[in-house]
A and B are shown apart, each in its own frame.
Chain A
Amino acid sequence: MKDKEAPPALDELPGELLIWVLIISELLVFGVGLAAFMAVRLTDPAGFAEAQNELHRTAAALNTIVLVSSGYLAARALRLRGASRRGAARLALVAAAALGVVFLVIKGAEYADKAAKGITYETHPFFTFYYLLTGFHAAHVVAGILILLLIAWRDEPRNIEAGAAFWHLVDLIWVLLFPVIYLLA
């Protein structure tokens, strides 16, 4: 009996199917979190706006630029590896990881500022969501940095493709999280 062929739609997807399952799952998790944040905001819009004013919007916008630049380097690494420029690809991946560290340093400074002001996750429901969503995202950044370094070492093209896709997921989540948490007052 002939093996059942994969549907053409799945063949269209670039890279491994499993990484797309992960991307969709993570988008759903963060999507539900962000929708819940906006729904809870309905109970106290003024309180949410006041709490949001404690955040440093410009630093968060700077972090967006840091992360999309890091994503660019990861995407560039895949192309460089495809062109058999292994050294340049590895350098791009390490630079992408370094920008990930810059993101965490800025995020850490933001958390330290909140701690200095005595703001915790119990201060207001806004900060419960803020710490939960940005903290979970930061955990993804940490994992992403480790993956970038791992694929810089084990630099098979399919490893780079999967690792870079995870990093773009981290990027994708941030560009949705940033406006909702920091800007929609």
Chain B
Amino acid sequence: MKPDTLDRTWIGLVALSGCSAIIAEVLGIGLDGRLTGAAILILALMKTRLILAHYLGLSAAASWRRGFNLSLALFCLLLLGLYILPAVIS
């Protein structure tokens, strides 16, 4: 049976969560914190986009989906800014 949108969304979310788990495991090996921080937040943002579009049905409400995506992207940028600030000012 061919996977539908919901199946593909679930596979995408599990794959993104797996990537988060891998990053969680390699956090201690001395990678640049700014890069890992950005990667972690991008993965989170991608997961929220999938949930909003396909679990909550915003794929059928383009303007709302854009509004949510933009707000969450700005929120993640704020978090990233707060995350890298100590490294920038030290």
Contacts and interface: CB of A to CB of B under 8 A. Distances in A.
A41 B55 contact: no
B55 A13 contact: no
Interface string A152-185: 0000000000001100100110011011101111
A168 B78 CA distance: 24
A168 B83 CA distance: 27
Contacts of B6: 72, 75-76, 79
Contacts of B9: 72, 75
SS class, residues of chain A in contact with chain B: helix
A14 interface: yes
A101 B9 CA distance: 22
B38 to A, nearest CB: 10
A39 interface: yes
Interface residues of A, number: 43
A171 B47 CA distance: 10
Interface of A: 9, 12-15, 23, 31, 34-35, 38-39, 41-42, 45, 57-58, 60-62, 64-65, 68-69, 71-72, 74-76, 79, 164-165, 168, 171-172, 175-176, 178-180, 182-185
23 contacts: A12-B63, A13-B64, A14-B56, A14-B58, A35-B82, A38-B82, A39-B82, A45-B86, A57-B21, A62-B21, A64-B21, A65-B18, A68-B17, A71-B51, A72-B6, A72-B10, A76-B6, A165-B56, A175-B51, A178-B44, A179-B41, A179-B44, A183-B23
Given A64-B21, A184-B40, 10 more contacts: A12-B64, A14-B58, A61-B20, A62-B21, A68-B51, A71-B55, A72-B55, A172-B56, A179-B44, A180-B79
